[in-house]
Amino acid sequence: MVNKDFDIKAFAYFKDGKISLNGSVLYSSSETELPEILKDIYKKLETDYRKFFKMDVLSKVAFLTADMLLKSQNLASEENDIAVILSNNASSLDTDRNHQNTIADKDNYYPSPAVFVYTLANICIGEISIKYKLFSENSFFIFEAFNAQYLHAYANQLLISKKAKSVLCGWVNVDEEKYEAFLYLVNETNEKGNHTIAEINRLYNN
């Protein structure tokens, strides 16, 4: 039963100014600086979430990718039984650096609560969950590299144990100007049975 394969319903990828859904690029930005790319994609997605502009970069990258994917699923407006499992290899390092810059100089000490609150990588899950009313289990893991085997096993266990009807899984990594997000949504249905380690790796590497 643990090896049962469920269905990958949709997947999204965001890198190099291009954001795609199910393998097709939906929007791209001609901007070259990451902050401007994020603003541009936000506008093109027609996302209405004012808190977006207060987020750190990791949360913005995760949020935009999840927003495009989840919008395509016609979710309920009240509550959605979707667990979230995200991962990366840099944790919240990009924001940690920004926070360190505010406290490094004792003569110019100006720690910002708005920055400090994002010095945990899993805050990005909270932003997604608030927007889409996701109240199921969530976790953020740190791996050296994308770990399809772990995501596959964890998502399957959540679905088998009925702790969620769907699981949003993936990899969201930001380190200075380098960024990448790959998310996929796996459902408890077993029609295609394409939620396999091989298929997850194939989608990620395409």
For residue 1, the surrounding DSSP H or E stretch is none
- 118: burial class by Cβ within 10 Å (0-12, 13-18, 19+)? buried
pLDDT score, position 159 = 96
Give the domain ranges of the chain.
7-205
Listed range (42-46, 111-115, 138-142) with the worst mean pLDDT: 111-115
- Residue (of 84, 64, 60) closest to 20 by Cα position: 64
What gap in Å lies between CA 143 and CA 149, rounded to an integer? 12
Beta strands at 24-28 and 82-88: parallel, antiparallel or unpaired:
unpaired
pTM confidence score: 0.87
Length of the chain counted residue by residue:
206
The answer for residues whose C-beta is within 8 angstroms of residue 196's C-beta and 6 or more apart is 5, 152
- Report the pLDDT averaged over residues 118-127: 73
What gap in Å lies between CA 149 and CA 147, rounded to an integer? 5
- Residue (of 132, 120, 122, 125) closest to 73 by Cα position: 132
Tell me the per-residue pLDDT of 88-98, one tens digit each, with 9 for 90 and over. Answer: 987 655 555 55
| CATH fold for domain 7-205 | Peroxisomal Thiolase; Chain A, domain 1 (3.40.47)
98 backbone dihedrals φ, ψ, rounded to 5°: -60, -40
109 confidence band (pLDDT: 50, 70, 90): low
| Alpha carbon distance, N-terminus to C-terminus of the chain | 29
Six-digit token string for 25: 């690029």
